[in-house]
Amino acid sequence: MTGTAAIRARLLARLDAAQVEDGIDPGATAPVVLEQDAVGRLSRMDALQQQAMALAAAGRRRLRRDMIRTALARLDAGDYGWCIRCGEPIAPARLEADPATPFCRDCAA
């Protein structure tokens, strides 16, 4: 596999993994039913907290998918591997650790 094909395969695998994670527990972000007789106040608070955590995790996965799609677009455009802020090359070790990163080490800091 060529360098570009290998990078594309890694990015697509990560995109697939993120999409699978989204389908694991779709009920986690469902509205919390507030049945006064069936659930105590602390149980409702716990359910709301769990829902908030699930929504935050879904937001992080959505951001990650967007980053991966953007990296794929940069790969198609021939801009992959260059920092989007300063234009300098991103270190290969950094791209190996996170192939979707858009920033060099200095700009990410």
For residue 43, pLDDT beyond 80: no
pLDDT for 103 equals: 96
Least trusted range by pLDDT, from 30-34, 44-48, 50-54: 30-34
**Does 73 have pLDDT greater than 90?**
yes
The residue among 41 and 61 whose pLDDT is bigger is: 61
Q: Taking the domains of the chain in order of start, what are their residue ranges?
A: 3-20+29-81
58's CB contacts (< 8 A; 6+ apart) are: 22, 29
pLDDT digits (tens, 9 = 90+) for 1-35: 568 899 999 999 999 998 888 776 666 656 655 55
| Whole-number Å distance between alpha carbons of 61 and 83 | 22
Give how far Cα 37 sits from Cα of 1, 45, 50, 102, Å: 61, 15, 20, 51
pTM reported for the whole predicted model: 0.74
Q: 44: pLDDT confidence band, cut at 50, 70 and 90?
A: confident
pLDDT at 37 (0 to 100): 57
